[in-house]
C-alpha cells in the first residue's frame, strides 16, 4: 500500500464547528482541526492544520481516521464491576475500599500504578502525585519504559538532558545527511517523511540502518542491513572508521566533549572487517555511510526502537551518540543527535512523575533537593515521599507474588498485549486481588479487570502534550463525551477524595497544569514559563522555558538547548566507552530463527484503538509473519498459508507473508495483536530496564 498523506474522502464543510487540536497517536502530534457536524445531523471528522511544523498540512492514514473511535459502538459508557454495569459512586467506592483493605494487610507498596505515554502532561502529573501522596506507594511506572527509555538513559549520560530531538524537526530538511538507526518513519509516522524529502531535494543523502528493507529503507541512498541484535557492533565499526579515516572533528572534541581517548582506545579493536563478520554489513558500505556523514556540512544521527529495544539498548544508543560526537554534530545548528520518540506524549509522559525514579520537571526521586521542592508544592513532608520503585516489566513481573503488588491501577495502557513475555504478565494480572483499568474500550487488559472505568479520549478533553521536538502543545476539547464517561483527572479526583484527600486533586486540567508548572520550576524539564495562552499564540513552546522574574521579558523557550553548552555540570558532552555483546537469547538447534517485531502503517501500539476503526482494520486485518522466500521454500510455506511461531515462552499462529524485505534467517511480526509478545524476551537492559523486544530465538513451522 502506498504511503498516502491525502484524505480518504471529501473534507467536511467549513461551516461546521472546527476546533484546533492535535492527533491522538504518535509523537509528531500532527496539528488537526476536529470538525463536528453532529449537532446539525452530520458526522465528525478531521482536517489537517497548516500551522504546526511537524506535519504542516499533512496527515497519515491513522490521523485521517482518528475521529472514527469517538462514535464507536465499542465505546465504554458506564463503569463495570465484575462485568456488570454500575454507577460511578459504587465503582469508586469499591475501588477505594479494596485499596484500603490491600494496603492495611500488605502495606503501601502492595498497590501499584501503571500509566501510559499517551496520557496528557496533566494526567501523567496527577497520576504520579496520586501514587505518591494518596497511595504513598513507590510502585508506579508506565509503558514508556518500553518505548525510548534506552535512548533517554544514553542521552542523559552523554548530554545531561533527555529530549527526543534537541532541535526543531524542520532542521532535518536543511541537513546534508541523515542517518536513521532502527527508525521506520514511513510506517510509524508518515508525515515525518516530508522533512527527509525536503532534505534530499536540497541535495542531502539518507542512510538507513535496519535488518528489514522497510518502506523507510527503500527511500534511502544507502541501506545497511545488520543481523538482528548486532546494531551495537555496527555502531562500533562505524565509529572506528570515522576515526581511522580522518572524519573525527578534533577541535570540537577538545572544546566541547570529554572522554574521547578512552573511547578511541575501546573501538581500536572494532576494525570494519571484524564488524562485517559480526553484522553482515559490508566494509565498503560502512565506509560510505561514514563518508556521507563526515563530508556533509550539516548532518544528523537519529535512533529509534530498532536500535533501542534491546538488553544492551542504552549502550547501543551510546555508541551512536559517540559517533555523532566524534563527527562534531551535537550542539551545532542544523546538526545533531536525536531520538525519534514513539508514543503521542512519550516525551512529556516521562517528565512529570509517572516513571518509577522521577518527579515532575525530570527530577530524580532520590535527589534530596528535588524531593524538597516537589514536597513543598504538594504540601507534604519530603520524608513522606516514597523512593524509587520497580521498573515497568519488573513491576508487572512481581504482580501477585510474595512481596509484590496485590492491586494494580492501569491508566492509558494495555500491558496484556504490549508487555514482553505477555503470557507471564497475564498470569500476574490474573493473580491480583484487585485490577482496575481506565480505558475508552474493553482492551485485552480491561477484559481481565475487576473494575473498568470508562474515560474520555483525546477530542473530549483538554490538556497539553509534548511532542518529539520538546514542543509543548495544547489539545483542546472539541466534542462532548458520551453520557456517563469521566476524564482520568475526574477519576483520580474521586478516588483521592474517597481516600481522605479532598484537596490537591482537581479535575480541571488548567488548574492541574498551573501546579505542574510550579512543580517543574527549576528542573531540567522546566515548564514554569509555559501557559495555555502562550501555546495557543505560538503554536507550541519548547522546554526548558523558565518563568520570567519581575520586570523580565517572557522566556522564549529553548528550541536548541545545546548550542552553547550541554546540560552537564561542566557543559561538556561525555563520550562513554561501550562494547558489543550478543543478544540475551541467541539462535540454536531448537530455535534456529531470529524473530524481530515492529509496527505497520495502519495500526498503533497494542491496536486497542486502531483495530476498532473499520478503515484501518480493513487495511491490516490480522497478524502476519513475514518470511524470506528461501525460508518459506525450506519450510514448505506458501504465501497466505498458516505458520506457527514458537519461542521458549509461548507460541502463536499467523498468516505467512513471503517477502525478501526480511533477512533469510529472520522473521518479522507486528506487535499490534494479542499473542505476538508471548514470544518476546523480557531480558532487561541493566541501565534503562528496557526489555529486549527486537530479537529472540524462535522455531517456525507450517500449519497443515
pLDDT score recorded for residue 38: 78
pLDDT higher for 119 or 342?
Answer: 119
Of 82, 689, 98, 101, nearest in space to 446 by CA: 82
Phi and psi of 203, rounded to 5°?
100, 0
Residue 514 grid cell: 498551573
Average pLDDT over residues 476-489: 95
Q: Are 345 and 191 in contact (CB under 8 A)?
A: no
Give the confidence band of 11 by pLDDT, cuts at 50, 70, 90: very low
Task: Please give the Cα distance from 391 to 314 (Å, whole number).
Answer: 15
pLDDT score recorded for residue 566: 98
Give the confidence band of 314 by pLDDT, cuts at 50, 70, 90: very high
Please report how the helices 283-295 and 231-244 are oriented relative to each other, as an axis angle in degrees rounded to 10. 60
Task: Please give the Cα distance from 47 to 11 (Å, whole number).
Answer: 7
pTM of the entire structure? 0.95
Give the confidence band of 8 by pLDDT, cuts at 50, 70, 90: very low
Q: What is residue 677's three-state secondary structure?
A: helix
pLDDT score recorded for residue 42: 80
Listed range (43-52, 231-240, 626-635) with the worst mean pLDDT? 43-52
pLDDT higher for 94 or 72?
Answer: 94
Q: What is the pLDDT of residues 123-169, one digit of tens each?
A: 999 999 999 999 999 999 999 999 889 999 999 999 999 999 999 99
pLDDT score recorded for residue 7: 41
Residue entry with cell 560502512? 286
Buried b (16+ CB within 10 A) or exposed e, 273-285: ebbbebbbbeeeb
Residue 261 contacts by C-beta under 8 Å, 6 or more apart in sequence? none
Q: Are 21 and 478 in contact (CB under 8 A)?
A: yes
Average pLDDT over residues 68-95: 96
The two beta strands, 624-627 and 681-684, are: unpaired
Domain 17-69 CATH assignment equals 1.10.510.10? no
> Other CB atoms closer than 10 Å to residue 411's CB: what's the count?
26
Please report how the helices 488-498 and 121-129 are oriented relative to each other, as an axis angle in degrees rounded to 10. 20
Average pLDDT over residues 307-333: 97
Of the chain, the percentage scoring pLDDT greater than 70 comes to 98
Average pLDDT over residues 601-607: 92
- Rounded to a whole number of angstroms, the CA Rg of the chain reads 24
Task: Please give the Cα distance from 147 to 161 (Å, whole number).
Answer: 17
Average pLDDT over residues 506-532: 97
Work out the burial of residue 245: count CB atoms within 10 Å of its CB; fewer than 13 is exposed, 13-18 middle, 19 or more buried: middle
Distance in angstroms between the alpha carbons of the first and the last residue of the chain: 29
Indicate the fold that domain 593-702 takes in CATH: Barwin-like endoglucanases (2.40.40)
Q: What is the pLDDT of residues 590-603, one digit of tens each?
A: 999 999 999 999 99
The two beta strands, 651-658 and 642-646, are: antiparallel
Task: Please give the Cα distance from 575 to 242 (Å, whole number).
Answer: 15
> Residue 554 has what DSSP assignment?
P
Residue entry with cell 474521586? 494
Q: What is the pLDDT of residues 423-480, one digit of tens each?
A: 999 999 999 999 999 999 999 999 999 999 999 999 999 999 999 999 999 999 999 9
Task: Please give the Cα distance from 467 to 473 (Å, whole number).
Answer: 7
Average pLDDT over residues 297-311: 97
pLDDT score recorded for residue 4: 38
Domain ranges of the chain: 17-69, 80-146+345-542, 149-339, 593-702
Supply the CATH classification number for the domain 149-339.
Answer: 3.40.228.10
Q: What is the pLDDT of residues 550-567, one digit of tens each?
A: 777 889 999 999 999 999
The enclosing H or E element of 307 equals helix 305-308
**The listed CATH number (3.40.50.740, 3.90.226.10, 3.30.559.10, 3.30.479.10) that belongs to domain 80-146+345-542:** 3.40.50.740
Average pLDDT over residues 692-699: 98
Work out the burial of residue 533: count CB atoms within 10 Å of its CB; fewer than 13 is exposed, 13-18 middle, 19 or more buried: exposed
Of the chain, the percentage scoring pLDDT greater than 90 comes to 93
pLDDT, averaged across the chain: 95
> Residue 564 has what DSSP assignment?
S
Amino acid at each position: 500500500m502506498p504511503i498516502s498523506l491525502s484524505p480518504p474522502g471529501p473534507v467536511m464543510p467549513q461551516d461546521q464547528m472546527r476546533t484546533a487540536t492535535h492527533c491522538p497517536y504518535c509523537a509528531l502530534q500532527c496539528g488537526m482541526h476536529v470538525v463536528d457536524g453532529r449537532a446539525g445531523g452530520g458526522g465528525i471528522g478531521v482536517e489537517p492544520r497548516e500551522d504546526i511544523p511537524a506535519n504542516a498540512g499533512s496527515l497519515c492514514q491513522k490521523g485521517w481516521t482518528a475521529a472514527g473511535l469517538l462514535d464507536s459502538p465499542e465505546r465504554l459508557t458506564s463503569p463495570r464491576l465484575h462485568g456488570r454495569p454500575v454507577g460511578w459512586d459504587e465503582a469508586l467506592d469499591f475501588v477505594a475500599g479494596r485499596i484500603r483493605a490491600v494496603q492495611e494487610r500488605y502495606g503501601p507498596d502492595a498497590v501499584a500504578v501503571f500509566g501510559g505515554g499517551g496520557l496528557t502532561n496533566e494526567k501523567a502529573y496527577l497520576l504520579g502525585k496520586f501514587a505518591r501522596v494518596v497511595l504513598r506507594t513507590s510502585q508506579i511506572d508506565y509503558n514508556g519504559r518500553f518505548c525510548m527509555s534506552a535512548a533517554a538513559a544514553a542521552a542523559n549520560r552523554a548530554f545531561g538532558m533527555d529530549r527526543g530531538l534537541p532541535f526543531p524537526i524542520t532542521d532535518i530538511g536543511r541537513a546534508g545527511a541523515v542517518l536513521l538507526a532502527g527508525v521506520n518513519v514511513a510506517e510509524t509516522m508518515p508525515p515525518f517523511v516530508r522533512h527527509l524529502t525536503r532534505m534530499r531535494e536540497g541535495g542531502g543523502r539518507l542512510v538507513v540502518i535496519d535488518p528489514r528493507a522497510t518502506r523507510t529503507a527503500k527511500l534511502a541512498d544507502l541501506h545497511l542491513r545488520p543481523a538482528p541484535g548486532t546494531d551495537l557492533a555496527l555502531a562500533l565499526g562505524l565509529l572506528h572508521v570515522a576515526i581511522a579515516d580522518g572524519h573525527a572533528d578534533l577541535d570540537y572534541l577538545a572544546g566541547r566533549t570529554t572522554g574521547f581517548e578512552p573511547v578511541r582506545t575501546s573501538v581500536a579493536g572494532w576494525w570494519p572487517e571484524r564488524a562485517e563478520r559480526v553484522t553482515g554489513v559490508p566494509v565498503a558500505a560502512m565506509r560510505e555511510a561514514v563518508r556521507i556523514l563526515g563530508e556533509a556540512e550539516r548532518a544528523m544521527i537519529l535512533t529509534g526502537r530498532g536500535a533501542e529495544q534491546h538488553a544492551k539498548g542504552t549502550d547501543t544508543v551510546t555508541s551512536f551518540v559517540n559517533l555523532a560526537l566524534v563527527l562534531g554534530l551535537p550542539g551545532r545548528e542544523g546538526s545533531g543527535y536525536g531520538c525519534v520518540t514513539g508514543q503521542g506524549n512519550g516525551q512529556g509522559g516521562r517528565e512529570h512523575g509517572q516513571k518509577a525514579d522521577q518527579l515532575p520537571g525530570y527530577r530524580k526521586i532520590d535527589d534530596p533537593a528535588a524531593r524538597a521542592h516537589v514536597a513543598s508544592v504538594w504540601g507534604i513532608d519530603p520524608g513522606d515521599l516514597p523512593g524509587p520503585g520497580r521498573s515497568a516489566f519488573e513491576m508487572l513481573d512481581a504482580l501477585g507474588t510474595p512481596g509484590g503488588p496485590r492491586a494494580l491501577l492501569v491508566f492509558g495502557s494495555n500491558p496484556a498485549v504490549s508487555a514482553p513475555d505477555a503470557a507471564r504478565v497475564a498470569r500476574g494480572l490474573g493473580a491480583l486481588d484487585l485490577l482496575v483499568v481506565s480505558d475508552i474500550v474493553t482492551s485485552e487488559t480491561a477484559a481481565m479487570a475487576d473494575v473498568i472505568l470508562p474515560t474520555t479520549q483525546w477530542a473530549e478533553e483538554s490538556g497539553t502534550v509534548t511532542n518529539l521536538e520538546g514542543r509543548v502543545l495544547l489539545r483542546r476539547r472539541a466534542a462532548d463525551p458520551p453520557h456517563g464517561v469521566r476524564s482520568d483527572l475526574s477519576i483520580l479526583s474521586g478516588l483521592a477524595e474517597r481516600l481522605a484527600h479532598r484537596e490537591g486533586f482537581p479535575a480541571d486540567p488548567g488548574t492541574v497544569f498551573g501546579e505542574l508548572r510550579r512543580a517543574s520550576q527549576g528542573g531540567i524539564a522546566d515548564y514554569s514559563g509555559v501557559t495555555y495562552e502562550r501555546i495557543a499564540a505560538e503554536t507550541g513552546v519548547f522546554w526548558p522555558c523558565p518563568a520570567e522574574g519581575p520586570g523580565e521579558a517572557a522566556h522564549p523557550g529553548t528550541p536548541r538547548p545545546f548550542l552553547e553548552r550541554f546540560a552537564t555540570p561542566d557543559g561538556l558532552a561525555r563520550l562513554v566507552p561501550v562494547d558489543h555483546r550478543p543478544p540475551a537469547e541467541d539462535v540454536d538447534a531448537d530455535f534456529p530463527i531470529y524473530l524481530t517485531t515492529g509496527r505497520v502503517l495502519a495500526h498503533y501500539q497494542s491496536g486497542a484503538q486502531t483495530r476498532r476503526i473499520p478503515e484501518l482494520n480493513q487495511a491490516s486485518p490480522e497478524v502476519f509473519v513475514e518470511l524470506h522466500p528461501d525460508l518459506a521454500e525450506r519450510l514448505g510455506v506458501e504465501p497466505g498459508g498458516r505458520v506457527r511461531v514458537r519461542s521458549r515462552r509461548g507460541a502463536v499462529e499467523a498468516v505467512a507473508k513471503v517477502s525478501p524485505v526480511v533477512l533469510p534467517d529472520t522473521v518479522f511480526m507486528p506487535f499490534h495483536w494479542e499473542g505476538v509478545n508471548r514470544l518476546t524476551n523480557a531480558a532487561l537492559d541493566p541501565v534503562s530496564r528496557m526489555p529486549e523486544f527486537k530479537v529472540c530465538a524462535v522455531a517456525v513451522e507450517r500449519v497443515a
